[in-house]
């Protein structure tokens, strides 16, 4: 079977599509035939060796965390799921392969009306976004900044915070301003001068700040007078340590119950998950090149099988 692998840290050129042995599910696991696997910025940080303190890597390493597919085999002790069931699942560092073993508690049935590409994005988007929301707890009429608001997590956070009744200032490139305005946010250009632009939009101050990009966003929040306990970063753990902010992310809300809540919101059209691009598995390097450019609106997804939606 095919699997994305890398044998050393580096850029997209270290990624290769290799022929490896098909895994067998162990006790409490299922084997999933993957249809789609979503990309995350954290994948790139791991591949570049920037996450060794949190997630040490051994080589060769697989790639990717989240997927959607069809169950093809069951390990001992698994019940509540059967062969041919469609699921969405989390499989850290091995999701981008034709067949993947998944712990039974780390998957959720995929509704027929939920598209494969969107389904593959749910696990990390839900866990990461909900953890950040629980850390900062935005409230009605507060002013909240969401950085990298047009990205995968940023898009979900923007919609969830708008739903609380808070006023969202969304940092992004001008190309995404109309999109973010449609989500109910006030867009502002990122980059040099961001602090002053936010002050102009929020003369009475900023109450909370979600950093999804790093590159000084936590320092910007502190400069704006946001209390550390109302700041969450998923992109700059060193800044979280330096300033004493939250760094809640994927593992802090790792629950299929959380995933189910986002699925319900997507199906009821309370939340939208835009798919920026769908790449075949053979173009994994190109997919990560686009992800690493930081210009994607929403999610980039790898397609491993022919899909209708």
Q: Which of 1, 17, 176, 151 is nearest to 72 (CA)?
A: 1
Give the residue-averaged pLDDT of 8-33.
98
Q: Which CATH architecture has domain 2-110+274-303?
A: Alpha-Beta Complex (3.90)
Q: How confident is the model at residue 308 (pLDDT cuts 50, 70, 90)?
A: low
Q: What is the pLDDT of residues 130-152, one digit of tens each?
A: 999 999 999 999 999 999 999 99
Query: By the 8 A CB rule, do 54 and 237 touch?
Result: yes
Across 246-254, average pLDDT: 94
According to DSSP, the residues that pair with 277 across neighbouring strands are: 300
DSSP H helices, the chain, are 41-47, 116-136, 152-163, 177-182, 194-201, 217-223, 237-243, 256-267, 284-292
Residue of 294 and 111 predicted with greater confidence: 111
Tokens 């699942």 -> residue: 89
Full-model pTM:
0.94
Give the start-to-end residue ranges of the domains of the chain. Answer: 2-110+274-303, 126-251
User: What's the Cα-to-Cα distance from 98 to each of 84, 138, 309, rounded to whole Å?
Assistant: 15, 40, 19
pLDDT digits (tens, 9 = 90+) for 176-222: 999 999 999 999 999 999 999 999 999 999 999 999 999 999 999 99
Per-residue pLDDT, averaged over 26-35, amounts to 98
Q: Which CATH class is domain 126-251?
A: alpha beta
Question: In the structure, what pLDDT confidence band is assigned to residue 306 with cuts at 50, 70 and 90?
Answer: confident
């Amino acid at each position: 079977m095919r699997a994305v692998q890398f044998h050393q840290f580096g850029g997209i050129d270290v990624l290769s599509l290799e022929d490896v042995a098909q895994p067998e599910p162990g006790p409490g696991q299922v084997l999933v035939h993957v249809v789609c696997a979503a990309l995350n910025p954290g994948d790139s940080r791991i591949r570049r060796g920037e996450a060794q303190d949190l997630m040490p890597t051994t080589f060769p390493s697989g790639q990717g965390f989240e997927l959607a597919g069809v169950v093809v085999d069951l390990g001992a002790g698994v019940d509540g799921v059967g062969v041919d069931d469609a699921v969405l699942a989390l499989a850290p560092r091995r999701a981008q392969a034709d067949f993947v073993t998944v712990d039974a508690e780390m998957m959720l049935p995929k509704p027929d009306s939920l598209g494969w590409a969107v389904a593959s994005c749910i696990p990390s988007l839900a866990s990461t976004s909900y953890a950040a929301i629980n850390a900062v707890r935005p409230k009605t009429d507060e002013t909240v900044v969401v950085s990298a608001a047009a990205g995968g997590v940023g898009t979900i956070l923007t919609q969830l915070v708008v739903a609380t009744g808070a006023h969202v200032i969304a940092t992004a490139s001008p190309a995404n301003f109309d999109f973010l305005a449609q989500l109910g946010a006030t867009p502002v250009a990122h980059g040099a001068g961001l602090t002053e632009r936010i002050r102009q939009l929020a003369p009475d101050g900023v109450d909370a700040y979600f950093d999804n990009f790093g590159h000084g966003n936590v320092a910007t929040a502190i400069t704006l007078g946001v209390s550390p306990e109302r700041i969450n970063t998923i992109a700059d753990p060193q800044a979280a340590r330096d300033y004493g902010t939250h760094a809640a992310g994927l593992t802090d809300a790792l629950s299929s119950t959380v995933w189910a809540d986002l699925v319900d919101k997507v199906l009821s059209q309370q939340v939208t998950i835009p798919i920026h691009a769908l790449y075949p598995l053979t173009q994994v390097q190109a997919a990560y090149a686009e992800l690493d450019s930081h210009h994607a609106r929403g999610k980039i997804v790898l397609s491993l099988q022919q899909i209708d939606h």
